[in-house]
Chain A
Amino acid sequence: MVPQTRTAERKPASAVLAPPRSAETPSTERFELIVDDYQRRLYGFALRMTGNREDAEEIVQDAFVRAFRALGKMTDEARRELRLQPWLYTITLNVTRNRLRSKRPTNVALDALADPDALLNNTQEGPEQPEAVVERGTDLELVERALLQLPMHLRAAATLRFIEGRSHPEIAEILDQPIGTVKSHVHRAVRILRRILGPQVGRIVTAEDSVNAV
């Protein structure tokens, strides 16, 4: 399969980005449209947050079920005022948090800062080790793993900003944090990733550029 890059996806995505569908009554048919519209986005987000397809699938399913229940309990007015997309991201993030909390912590961000090589050489296998979604041993696998090394709140900020392409105000809404905090989290995430990835960054940029040129 030709490596599909986020940059390649951006154009169609913005075209698809219809104005947020108003939720109105949560009839099953209407909810079907919501599921259809947002499942890709939320799945991608959950996958990047967990590094695990099975987790991502369960998280998205849980998130939609929670959303459906919550919509059912809302007044018509609350439903009309609801901003569906950030709200769905927030639910997905909460489900992700609950789920990851029960798992062995995969966060070794501080160790990784002290010794980025330890991360790169980290071959410890086990059920909780995030599976690589991209091909093993590739540079992109390093990126994927580096992201998973970030503490949860920084990973969420970086994923929403750079992978999901959300704006600072949107992220602030999703995370329920002031914009200043979001900016500083994004910034800290990038700094840590810079240190973890080090010289790999330049190599990946060059390699991906040549792929895109072809």
Chain B
Amino acid sequence: MRCSDVELLWDEMRSGIEPKSEHVLAHLRRCKTCQHAYEQNEGVAYCLTCLPIVEPPQHLVPKILDHIKSMRQHYRSGVADHLARIASPLGNLHVAWRDTGITFLGIARDEDDDAAVAIIEHRLSRPVRICEPPAWVTGAVRAFFTTWRADLERVDISELSPFERSALHKAAEIPPGEVRSYGWIARELGAPNAARAVGQVMARNPIALFFPCHRVVDSNGALHNYAYGIDVKARILALEGYVGSGAAASDPIGAKVRA
């Protein structure tokens, strides 16, 4: 039996299911290298078993059950948001809407329909159903990509808190191709210490692009973060004509951000 064979059989050996264990043991007795590798492997496996078991938070189960219960109620009452996949210059978008307006807009990755529905139901805490988008929805999306400005009459964020709504509306005042810092929004809202809270709102922005959280960056101009990946944020900004991304650390961007 060769060393390479023996090495591969280590995990079977420890579960006691290796039929050739006698041969392996014989090899181990005479091969110091394999013996050492075995001990090291055992050590690693042992280290992993030593990681503490972390109890889930107590509110987890009630939270899940509440979520499911409200989902069922919504289903029974027939109240659901509609969802469609709409093509755009940024690839497919997931757009959810109700009669009152668009309630969710996100950039699709390669999720299947079930995954998309699950993600968006989780975000909205409501059931969503896939269907064909009406003209006003596709029109609103198309219009955005022509002007890079959204018609905010077409959105419904009534379920967000007043602070969240005003932070998102403030972000919508940033002209396309420009960026502002989290602190700028906080100060504009008269809450100069709330930059972090603004960051949270941007991170949870339900209607990406329309509320252009991608135009909100660090006070030193770094792109910081984006729900769909920082490279996507850079790409959107580039499409809008923002010059100064790329070398995130260099000065020219810093100069462009009104920190």
Judge if A137 is at the interface, Cβ distance under 8 Å. Answer: no
Q: Per-position contact with A for B153-190: 1 when CB-CB < 8 Å, else 0?
A: 00000000000000000000000000000000000000
Dominant secondary structure at the B interface: helix
What separation, in Å, do the CA atoms of A125 and B198 have in the docked complex? 20
| A40 lies within 8 A of B56 (CB) | yes
**Which chain B residues border A159 with CB–CB below 8 Å?**
48
Segment of B20-28, B83-91, B224-232, B242-250 in the binding face: B224-232
| B52 lies within 8 A of A127 (CB) | no
Chain A residues 6-55 with CB under 8 Å of chain B are 6-7, 9, 28, 31-32, 35-36, 39-40, 43-44, 47-48, 53
Judge if B1 is at the interface, Cβ distance under 8 Å. Answer: no
Interchain CB contact (< 8 A) of B49 among A5, A64, A66, A70? A5
Judge if A163 is at the interface, Cβ distance under 8 Å. Answer: yes
Are A204 and B49 also in contact (CB < 8 A) when A57-B56, A69-B117, A183-B11 are? no
Are A94 and B47 also in contact (CB < 8 A) when A6-B53, A61-B64 are? no
Judge if B135 is at the interface, Cβ distance under 8 Å. Answer: no
Judge if B31 is at the interface, Cβ distance under 8 Å. Answer: no
**Which chain A residues border B65 with CB–CB below 8 Å?**
28, 32, 35
| B115 lies within 8 A of A35 (CB) | no
**Which chain A residues border B122 with CB–CB below 8 Å?**
58, 61-62, 65
| B56 lies within 8 A of A143 (CB) | no
- Smallest Cβ distance from A6 to chain B, in angstroms? 4
Chain B residues 113-155 with CB under 8 Å of chain A are 114-115, 117-119, 121-122
Are A68 and B68 also in contact (CB < 8 A) when A62-B118, A128-B225, A202-B43 are? yes
Judge if B33 is at the interface, Cβ distance under 8 Å. Answer: no
| B56 lies within 8 A of A186 (CB) | no
Judge if A197 is at the interface, Cβ distance under 8 Å. Answer: yes
| B44 lies within 8 A of A69 (CB) | no
**Which chain B residues border A4 with CB–CB below 8 Å?**
52-53
**Which chain A residues border B227 with CB–CB below 8 Å?**
102
Chain B residues 17-59 with CB under 8 Å of chain A are 40-41, 43-57
| A5 lies within 8 A of B121 (CB) | no
Q: Per-position contact with B for A117-159: 1 when CB-CB < 8 Å, else 0?
A: 0000000000110000110000010011001000000000011
Instruction: Write the chain A residue with the least CB distance to B230.
Output: A104
**Which chain B residues border A144 with CB–CB below 8 Å?**
51
| A65 lies within 8 A of B121 (CB) | yes
Judge if B109 is at the interface, Cβ distance under 8 Å. Answer: yes
Instruction: Write the chain B residue with the least CB distance to A43.
Output: B56
Dominant secondary structure at the A interface: helix
Judge if A167 is at the interface, Cβ distance under 8 Å. Answer: yes
Judge if B77 is at the interface, Cβ distance under 8 Å. Answer: no
Judge if B216 is at the interface, Cβ distance under 8 Å. Answer: no
Interchain CB contact (< 8 A) of A201 among B47, B53, B54, B118? B47
What separation, in Å, do the CA atoms of A160 and B13 have in the docked complex? 18
**Chain B residues in the interface with A (C-beta under 8 A):** 7-8, 10-12, 15, 40-41, 43-57, 60-61, 63-65, 67-69, 71-72, 109, 111, 114-115, 117-119, 121-122, 225, 227-230
* A-B contact sample (5 more), CB < 8 A, given A40-B53, A95-B115: A65-B67, A98-B109, A143-B51, A190-B10, A204-B43
**Chain A residues in the interface with B (C-beta under 8 A):** 3-7, 9, 28, 31-32, 35-36, 39-40, 43-44, 47-48, 53, 56-58, 60-62, 64-66, 68-70, 94-95, 98, 101-104, 127-128, 133-134, 140, 143-144, 147, 158-159, 161-163, 167-168, 183-184, 186-187, 190, 193-194, 197, 201-202, 204-205, 208
Q: List 14 A-B contacts (CB under 8 A).
A: A6-B53, A35-B65, A39-B56, A53-B57, A66-B115, A94-B115, A102-B228, A102-B229, A147-B51, A162-B48, A187-B10, A194-B40, A194-B43, A202-B43
